[in-house]
Structure 1
Amino acid sequence: MAVLREWGLTLGKWAGRPVARVYEDSGDPEVRRVREAAAAADWTTVRAVLEARPESADRTELLWAVGDTAGVERWMPAVVEAEPEAALPRLVAGVRHISWGWEARTGARAAHVSSEQFEVFHARLRTAERWLYEAAEREPQWISPWYGLQITGRGLQVEKTVARRRFEATVRRDPHHLGAHQQRLQQLCEKWGGSHEEMHAFARASAFGAPPGTHLGQLVAIAHIEHWLALDSGPDGAYMARPEVAASLRQAADHSFRHPDFVLRETWLPVVNTFAMAFSLAGDRVAARECFRLTDGCVSRFPWYYLDSSDPAAAYRKLRSSVGR
């Protein structure tokens, strides 16, 4: 499709139908490059890739590619020590410790996480906070340190006022930063001490407070998915079947990816994939087929891992088939 060709994504076809494939890096070759450099402990290349993507262009995905790479925690402290005035090594070390912390905690519900796991989790997050604050002090206009502090704050269960201020610090530097808004939405989820009402209100205010074509429209779809996930089997389907749910999704889609001003930048693929999942669960087959047609088999890990963490593409294919695409 034209959308995918413009973004540089190509897929093989089987019987005329797109083959679903997970794109870990949203089609951005620099993500793979920086991940490979991190795995090789090649700080020169890691730094070059990150410095080439300014904060104003949102280098969140690049940072996570490094942060999610095993072993980075072993060699980054030496880089930090060798560059005592530099912010970037501290930022990278902080992001790695966030990911490393969640590796210790795992994605299990709190009731199934041991006290020993929580101890390691919190220790790593506290180290991450130290690095991130030091990065923020050295580069006061950078967005990424404050984005990271939103995540550590949720894991360390900081007070609600502190959590809100960290979000505000992020959006003062970039009012429409998608990652910052996604993290704030998680903070307002019921599972993190918020409520469905707070979550939905924030999602709508953020999406419709942004200019038409915004990627923040995804927040509305995420909020409905999070609400669905919080319910037991039976009530979850009844919730998504409410006419007002599909109506709010259509309204958000019109203000977001359906709008002529929607820009094909790095986050477009998970945005449309999120709407594909939400519309499918809501039973809006026409709107869901539109999203599957746009993604054309290009699968982002989020949000499909909610349905199948080991094979997000299988979850994509299952719902695509359910709506007749």
Structure 2
Amino acid sequence: MVDTMALLPPFVRSSRTARTVEHPPVALPADDEVLLDAPDDRLGPALVAAGQGSYEVAAALLASTRAASAWEHRDRYVVRLASFACARPEWFESWRTAAPRDPDMLVVGAQLAVTRVWGSPAREELLREVSPLITAAARGDDRDPVPWRIALDHAHGSRAGHKYFEELWEAAIRRAPHHYGCHAAALRCLAESWHGSHRECFDFAETAAQDAPADSLVQALPTRAALAYLTDGCGPDVPRARLDAAVDRAIALSARFPAADPWPAEMRNKLTYVLALLDRREDALEQLRRIGPYATSFPWELVSDDPLGRFLELREEIRLRSASGHPRSGHRGRAHSRDH
């Protein structure tokens, strides 16, 4: 068993006084108004331009995130742009040709290379060939944690050893101690290498959340550990109180953002699924109100080939059960998914 604390940085703990801003919830939109993985108003124009063969808008968008050290937004935009380039590569190839040393192009290129081979049966071997692209992206801007998140995913997919993982983790958090993408990637690595050792994964997630600012997405990391536990089916039980504490922390984070906002949508979708697994239907219904029309592929793609359809089905189930007035029950066992 790997020592959990050995993988954690020496966080400097400090007390924080944070005021939760209450935003009024919205009513549930009609099914035909719900969108899957809708881009925000900054990413949308970049995707439209890419669809027309132009890379300049995407390049300007990523350059602005780097200039502002907006690493969470940068990470999300890189993933979406790379996914788009998988299906429509012409605009990206034009970018690569025009600006072969552009740090923003390099990080999209590294993500694209990993995304392209991730589902292959020969993933481990193919990922080894991707390493130079990740190295080039990391050298593009030494402040940028996103190449290190990609490197953590690469280590996960290629089944790299713990020593290499620890080196990557230390490099990532040195650049951005509370970057959610790096923490989520690390948790995926640990969940696989510690298969069944969910309490250690909770230790990692809870320590990171405790040290993160109140408005950081890392506050929702324990919910990801809860999702892994509830959809796994092996290892010792995690106390119900620990699961409830994880979702309570994420509920507090959700309340800090406006309702019907695409930025926290994935966090809220994940939280809703975990609340449903825990049979906390009133809390799940409140998150559905806050989600509004913004469904996300994760986590519904873990349990269905039609993530939007599964989201709408569960939404209706929660709404009907809430209206029926059945008493809340405790967690009745673990669900199962194909991956987490």
TM-score in terms of structure 1 length: 0.77
Amino acid at match of 1:308: S
Matched residues in 2 for 1:221 and 1:215: separation?
11
Amino acid at match of 2:34: R
Q: Does 1:225 align with 2:227?
A: yes
CA gap of 1:177–1:163, structure 2 versus 1, over 3 A, is same
1:172-183 correspondence to structure 2 within 5 Å? 172-183=174-185
Of 57, 70, 75, 1:60 maps to 75
Of 122, 133, 136, 2:135 maps to 133
Matched residues in 1 for 2:180 and 2:129: separation?
25
Matched residues in 2 for 1:71 and 1:304: separation?
22
Task: State the partner residue of 1:167.
Answer: 169
Q: In structure 1, the residue corresponding to 2:118 is in which secondary structure?
A: helix
Q: Does 1:247 align with 2:263?
A: no
Matched residues in 2 for 1:92 and 1:212: separation?
29
Q: CA deviation at 1:45?
A: 2.9
Task: State the partner residue of 1:276.
Answer: 272
Matched residues in 1 for 2:214 and 2:225: separation?
19
Amino acid at match of 1:293: R
Matched residues in 1 for 2:167 and 2:312: separation?
36
1:36-51 correspondence to structure 2 within 5 Å? 36-51=48-63
1:52-82 deviation digits (Å, cap 9, x = unpaired): 3226112112111221122566775674455
Q: CA deviation at 1:309?
A: 3.0
Are the counterparts in 2 of residues 207 and 216 from structure 1 also a CA contact under 8 Å? yes
TM-score in terms of structure 2 length: 0.74
Amino acid at match of 1:268: P
Greater percentage in helix: 1
Runs of 5+ in structure 2 lacking a partner?
Answer: 1-21, 324-340
Task: State the partner residue of 2:336.
Answer: none
Task: State the partner residue of 1:24.
Answer: 37
1:228-272 deviation digits (Å, cap 9, x = unpaired): 22117xx99xx68x63244323442365334x5x68886411112
Amino acid at match of 1:62: Y
Q: Pairwise CA RMSD of aligned residues?
A: 3.3
Amino acid at match of 2:59: R
Runs of 5+ in structure 1 lacking a partner?
Answer: 106-116
1:104-123 deviation digits (Å, cap 9, x = unpaired): x2xxxxxxxxxxx31xx345
Task: State the partner residue of 2:204.
Answer: 202
Q: CA deviation at 1:193?
A: 5.3
| Percentage of pairs with the same residue | 19
Q: CA deviation at 1:219?
A: 1.2
Aligned length: 295
1:49-198 correspondence to structure 2 within 5 Å? 49-54=61-66, 56-58=69-71, 59-69=74-84, 70-71=86-87, 76=92, 79-80=95-96, 82-103=98-119, 105=120, 117-118=121-122, 121-122=123-124, 124-190=126-192, 195-198=197-200
Q: Does 1:318 align with 2:314?
A: yes
CA gap of 1:83–1:126, structure 2 versus 1, over 3 A, is farther
Amino acid at match of 1:42: S
Q: CA deviation at 1:92?
A: 1.7
1:9-29 deviation digits (Å, cap 9, x = unpaired): x9854xxxx76724313x413
Matched residues in 2 for 1:315 and 1:254: separation?
19
Matched residues in 2 for 1:139 and 1:176: separation?
18
Amino acid at match of 2:54: D
Amino acid at match of 2:253: S
Matched residues in 2 for 1:75 and 1:272: separation?
32
